[in-house]
Amino acid sequence: MNNTIGSSDAPAPRRTIDIVNRSLKRRYRAERRFRFYGMAAIVLSLLFLALLFASIVFKGYSAFWQTSIRLSIFFDPAVLQQDTLVNADYAALVREALFKKFPQVEGRQDKRQLAALMSSGGVYRLRNMVLKDPDLVGKAVEVWLPADDDIDMLIKGHFRRDLPESERRVTDLQIAWIEKLESEGRLERQFNTTFLSAGDSREPELAGIWGAVSGSFFTLVITLSLSFPIGVAAAVYLEEFARKNRWTDLIEVNINNLAAVPSIVFGLLGLAVFLNFFGLPRSAPLVGGLVLTLMTLPTIIIASRSALTSVPPSIREAALGVGASKMQMVVHHVRPLALPGMLTGTIIGMARALGESAPLLMIGMVAFIVDIPKGFTDSATVLPVQIYLWSDSPERAFVERTSAAIMVLLAFLVVMNAGAIILRKKFERRW
Amino acid sequence: MQLYLLFALLGLSTAAYYVGRRKAFALAGRAAEAVRLHSRPTYHGALTALWCGIPALLIFGFWLVLENQVITHLVVRDLPEAIRSLPPDRLNLVINDIRNIEGGSFASQTTDPGMQAAADHYRQLRSISNHALAAVTIALMAAATLLVRSRITSHLRARNQVEAILTVILVACSTIAIFTTIGIILSVLYEAIRFFKAVPITEFLFGLDWSPQMAIRADQVGSSGAFGAVPVFLGTILISAIAMVVAVPIGLMSAIYLSEYAGKRLRAVAKPLIEVLAGIPTVVYGFFAALTVAPVIRDWGNWVGLDVASESALAAGLVMGIMIIPFVSSLSDDFINAVPQSLRDGAYSLGATRSETIRQVIVPAAIPGIIGGVLLAVSRAIGETMIVVMAAGLSANLTVNPLKAVTTVTVQIVTLLVGDQEFDSPKTLAAFALGLILFIVTLCLNIIALYVVRKYREQYE
């Protein structure tokens, strides 16, 4: 294009304007094409985003419901008094109730199929009922108990009923029983409280995210209580006190580099230093918090520094002018004005730490942990690692639970980021 | 227990603050003498609190770090000779058992009395240690508080002393970044050197065969362990390249459109939405890649008649590219906006269309910054872990076919280190060697990128 303009003093008989006009159509076409590419790029990235969310919500929403079956359980004193109430064979009660419901079922094979309708987790529910109220012994009570995960998947339509029986995980007999129960109103989809309140389990219908959420909480408490003060202090020193010299340059280069070091390398550091050298416990939120602190520190330092730079120098000069010391100027005048920016950076750093899983794999927070962690040194896992663990499980029912756990994780992240945005909007000042 | 002690320490420091401040007020309050304090009473309080709290906290920290080793040493010393002469890894197992019994995670009747005795000894030592720690720190705090209190006079330059202490704390905090880097280098290097003693570095860097399974028994067949990392490096490069092929055009074009064409409203909506992509945890992308994208690609491949692995490099690379779009776009956006308006105006005044201005003026002017941004994105792609762990395979194929399964450096690190670790087998140490390579490569990319970006930022300022 530049050439055509440059050739205006050529001896050709045509005027420049003709040359320009002739190429104009082509150039406008190129313009439209370019614009279209730009638009397509944006549409494509938004499409990916929509696809990601849609696929997760579509896969996961059903996990918040769990198929339950209502059985008339007879708390048989003969069974319960054989042993202590804690160790009694509650599974037998469930089996008895099922056999009574379907008296025509004969033969070991069929009876086993019938018992497989129910989750083994019903046992714990019955035990808790009896421990809470020992008077139940000898009575018959209608109880809702969770169905097995295969039945749950069938009811939710994830297993097709029209396949030949040999390719299904649910047999024809079982389907017939289920349909009978359904027609009697004994089978229902209920809100899945187990998912929100239980720890991990090998049985999908008993698995919950509460253990992972607690682990994440303890880990983040450590991360926040270390990285915020340290990050702010480092930023204040570098921005307000340090002279520009080799040493501070070195620190700066280090911070910028650490911000871009792959997170898994921090995991290696944690494994070699915190576990092998200092001998801290494996799988503990304490160590996870320390590793994530080192990982988020650069983010917080960089955000805090930019918050400090945005405070105008006139504030500092005014404070110094009325006789404040440098430390007083920073603590009393600069810090309050920079605090919203620092907090915003900290929340964003915490959100990153909450979603991080790679370094935690290195320090053993991937163990299968059923108990809900109660403290900083208990074995624990965190929400993203729980998602990773479940996504590896072969059971179909874990797919929806993984998606649902992702939805919970994303909800936490949305809340944190929204908090950061509100904070910024509310306290943002233009000087 | 230790947590309670920590809270007690913080509580005592707060109390010390009030002790110091009261003393200062008492000094100033004597109207007859009309003393004028050098500093305000809060500084006297702060000085007392700092002297009370910091030494105690330091001792607390060191104690916790050393406690385990000292106690373990004492317990081991009293173990029977037969156990003490075990090789170190067996001995570690015994120590772990003792700790587990002490923590109550084993039913006690299943263990033999010797172990039970050792566990009791361990528990007793721990209890002694806890009590001693509490006694030492609290005594120290009381002494420090009283000492500082006795030294509070009207001439005490409390403010200057407090500020000096605070400055030291600030400096200490800012050096943590350096210690982290040193820690990374030392820890990774140390284990990597141990690895290179077992496996020559040339074999590691140039060998074509990667199968890190070591024989557990000496007579086992077919798993001697091969540590040629070229297939792993190639897999990493392949997946990163696919990611960049997706991310660079989309990211760059959306940045250009948003900064040059889009109206204010579209920009206000689209820019944050694209950045949401950067805030989604990588484990979510991994799940998306493994359960949504990979099956779709495999089905399409089968439909066309191609043989696609279920853990194809394409699926992992594609999803990683989506993740990286916002990095490329937001950095490019910054640099495109930094190009002075006068350059645009100059091009327009020569009759250039908008796209001609962008392609021939703005992008060339912004190219150093954009390259810096792309390099940062590459370093991110290389170090990305969860997507490839979940969506890429484990088998180290020496191939550049994106439809085959390949493995990456990060996948290998994770699979080698998750589960049983024996720090004397090359299998575990290989992870650190890979980590060292990963760290060096990303470090170089970052340094170049940051240098280019910084240089470029100065250009138009």
Tens place of pLDDT for every residue, chain A, 431 residues?
A: 444 444 445 555 578 888 888 888 999 999 999 999 999 999 999 999 999 999 999 988 888 888 888 888 888 777 776 666 767 778 888 888 888 888 888 788 888 888 888 887 777 788 888 888 877 778 888 888 888 888 888 888 877 777 777 777 788 888 888 888 888 888 888 888 888 888 888 888 888 899 999 999 999 999 999 999 999 999 999 999 988 888 888 888 889 888 889 999 999 999 988 888 887 888 889 999 999 999 999 999 999 999 999 999 999 999 999 999 999 999 999 999 999 889 999 999 999 999 999 999 988 888 888 888 888 888 889 999 999 999 888 888 888 899 999 999 999 999 999 988 888 888 877 66
Between A and B, how many CB-CB pairs are < 8 A?
A: 273
- Cβ within 8 Å of residue B52, ≥6 positions away: B12, B13, B16, B141, B144, B145, B148
Mean pLDDT of chain A: 86
Q: Are B431 and B408 in contact (CB under 8 A)?
A: no
CA B37 to chain centre: 48
* CA-based nearest distance A353→chain B, Å: 9
3 state SS of A192: coil
Nearest to A217 by CA among A372, A93, A104: A372
User: Quick check: A236 and B170 CB within 8 A?
Assistant: yes
Residue of A nearest to B279 (CA): A352
Buried/exposed B246-257: b ≥16 CB within 10 Å, e otherwise: bbbbbbbbbbbb
User: Quick check: A358 and B410 CB within 8 A?
Assistant: yes
* Residue to substitute from B174, B362, B452, interface A, most A β-carbons within 10 A: B174
Chain B residues with CB under 8 Å of A263 CB are 383, 385
pLDDT on residue B441? 93
User: Quick check: A297 and B261 CB within 8 A?
Assistant: no
B79 to each of A237, B121, B124, how far by Cα in Å? 51, 10, 15
Q: What whole-number distance in Å separates Cα of residue A59 and Cα of residue A158?
A: 10
Burial class (CB in 10 A: 0-12, 13-18, 19+), B116: middle
Tell me: do B138 and B241 sit in the same domain.
Answer: no
Q: Is B4 on the interface with A (CB under 8 A)?
A: no
**Residue B414 is assigned to a structural domain of this protein:** yes
CATH 1.10.3720.10 fits A210-427, yes or no: yes
Nearest to A131 by CA among A90, A93, A72: A90
Tell me: do B7 and B145 sit in the same domain.
Answer: yes
* Residue to substitute from A220, A243, A252, A254, interface B, most B β-carbons within 10 A: A254
Chain A residues with CB under 8 Å of B352 CB are 1
User: Quick check: B281 and A413 CB within 8 A?
Assistant: yes
The number of distinct structural domains making up chain B is: 2
Q: Is A417 on the interface with B (CB under 8 A)?
A: yes
CATH number of residue B334's parent domain: 1.10.3720.10
User: Quick check: B254 and A298 CB within 8 A?
Assistant: no
DSSP state of A394: -
Host H or E run for residue A74: strand A65-74
User: Quick check: B258 and A297 CB within 8 A?
Assistant: no
Tell me: do B255 and B141 sit in the same domain.
Answer: no
**Residue B209 is assigned to a structural domain of this protein:** no
pLDDT in tens, B349-401: 998 999 999 999 999 888 888 888 899 999 999 999 999 999 887 778 888 88
Which of B142, B163, B184 is the last residue before a domain boundary?
B163
Q: Give B 309-368 residues with CB within 8 A of chain A.
A: 322, 325-326, 329, 350-356, 358-360
Q: Are B57 and B5 in contact (CB under 8 A)?
A: no
**pLDDT of B403 above 50:** yes
**Residue B327 is assigned to a structural domain of this protein:** yes
Q: What whole-number distance in Å separates Cα of residue B280 and Cα of residue A409?
A: 10
Which of B145, B163, B181 is the last residue before a domain boundary?
B163
- Cβ within 8 Å of residue B418, ≥6 positions away: A361, A362, A366
**Residue B41 is assigned to a structural domain of this protein:** yes
* CA-based nearest distance A158→chain B, Å: 15
Interface confidence, given as ipTM, is 0.88
**Residue B211 is assigned to a structural domain of this protein:** no
Residue B401 φ/ψ, nearest 5 degrees: -80, 115
Task: Supply the angle between the helices A383-391 and A396-427 in degrees, to the nearest 10.
Answer: 150
Domain that holds residue B313: 226-459
* CA-based nearest distance B68→chain A, Å: 7
Tell me: do B353 and B432 sit in the same domain.
Answer: yes
User: Quick check: B177 and A59 CB within 8 A?
Assistant: no
Q: What whole-number distance in Å separates Cα of residue A265 and Cα of residue A362?
A: 9
Strand intervals (E) in B192-324: 210-211, 226-227
A212 to each of A49, A361, A369, B238, how far by Cα in Å? 26, 14, 9, 34
3 state SS of B72: helix
User: Quick check: A257 and B181 CB within 8 A?
Assistant: yes
pLDDT-wise least confident of A100-104, A233-237, B285-289, B455-459: B455-459
Is the alpha carbon torsion for B35, B41, B43, B48 positive or negative? positive
Tell me: do B121 and B251 sit in the same domain.
Answer: no
Q: What whole-number distance in Å separates Cα of residue A283 and Cα of residue A277?
A: 15
Residue of A nearest to B251 (CA): A41
Mean pLDDT of chain B: 85
Residue A160 region, left (φ>0) first, then alpha (ψ -120 to 50), else beta?
beta
Tell me: do B134 and B232 sit in the same domain.
Answer: no
pTM for the whole structure? 0.87
Q: Which of B187, B288, B351 sits opposite A269 (nearest CB)?
A: B187
User: Quick check: A31 and B276 CB within 8 A?
Assistant: no
B264 to each of B260, B267, B338, how far by Cα in Å? 11, 5, 18
Q: Are B159 and A325 in contact (CB under 8 A)?
A: yes
Q: Are B257 and B333 in contact (CB under 8 A)?
A: no
Tell me: do B303 and B415 sit in the same domain.
Answer: yes
Q: Which residues pair with A70 in a beta bridge?
A: A144
